[in-house]
Amino acid sequence: MSGFFLDATLIESLIDKARAAPRRRSHHNLHTDPAAPAHRMLVAMEPDSYVRPHRHLDPAKAETIIVLRGRLGTLIFDAAGQVLDARVMAPGAAVFGYDVPPGVFHCIVALESGTVFVEAKAGPYAVPLEAEWGGWAPAEGEAGVPAYLALLQGRLAG
């Protein structure tokens, strides 16, 4: 019956994979079919991993995150890249997750090593359209990423 349960061994393995991964995050799919209508996964993410601000234009693609371990920051932006809201989420805290509707620019930032969360959204995966990226933010791999990530982390400090 081990296929039914999510345990500490799985979490630790996921964290180890994230620490060794070039993008400094890893995921474990809970859905078995890439074309499944619902994608559910565990994600481990390190503080130096960069998730570019984005939105999901598909009206069926709300995104839900619930933090299981560590601390995860989320930022909500307007279309010009101004931060509308910034929250720190953690298990047992006043804010432990989010549910972002389609069309809203957002990003996440791991604030503690070993951060793990559950992510759920409609499938199947589709490569983001250019209009889904926050054009004001550097793309993953660009030279400006470290400075922008530090700026995001600074918005969540305190």
Q: Where are the domains of the chain?
A: 2-156
* pLDDT(118) > 90: yes
pLDDT at 35: 86
Do 120 and 40 contact (CB within 8 A), yes or no? yes
Could you tell me the pTM of the whole model? Answer: 0.94
Is CATH 2.40.37.10 the right assignment for the domain spanning 2-156?
no
* pLDDT(148) > 80: yes
* pLDDT(1) > 80: no
Query: Cβ-count burial of 74 within 10 angstroms (0-12 exposed, 13-18 middle, 19+ buried)?
Result: buried
Please give the average per-residue pLDDT across 76-99, as a whole number: 97
Cis amide leading into 124 (omega within 30) = yes
pLDDT at 158: 63
Per this entry, what is the length of the chain? 158
* pLDDT(16) > 70: yes
Give the dihedral sign, CA 28/29/32/34: negative
